Structure 1
Amino acid sequence: MTGYSKSLLDSLCLKIKDYPRFSLTEIEKFCWMAAHEHKHGVLPSEYDIREIDEDLYLQLLQKFKAE
């Protein structure tokens, strides 16, 4: 698993909390959206199947679940 800087993870977590209709009950979806936006520069469209950085996604999820 690739380690990401604490500052990157913190800034992405703040960005996730600012997403429209953010909800902790759907945190997997929002972490996926942030990982997608970080890799591709845009939020995913409805049926976007481009790959994301799975390590980043898992680290974001872990950070939210630790809070």
Structure 2
Amino acid sequence: MNRILLVVLLLLAFALIGYNTTVLDFERPFEGESFIAIICIIASLCAIVLLLIFNTARKIQKRIDEES
């Protein structure tokens, strides 16, 4: 995965978190659109974690290939 693509995907995930935070109703977080916003925030956080894990694994693989 290209580094630019990684940054773009991370920015999109953070933008989704920001947008869904504005939709979230803090008085009733588990009703209606607020519940959907919570699900989208959690999904965006999962995407960020997966992208960072993939990036770390790619760096480790590059170091292993350089050593051998």
TM-score range for the pair, normalised by the shorter chain length: 0.3 to 0.5
Taking CA–CA contacts closer than 8 Å with sequence separation of 6 or more, which of the two structures ends up with the larger relative contact order? 1
- The normalised TM-score by structure 1 is 0.33
Highest CA radius of gyration, 1 or 2?
2
- The normalised TM-score by structure 2 is 0.33
Task: Write 1 or 2 for the structure with the bigger share of helix.
Answer: 2
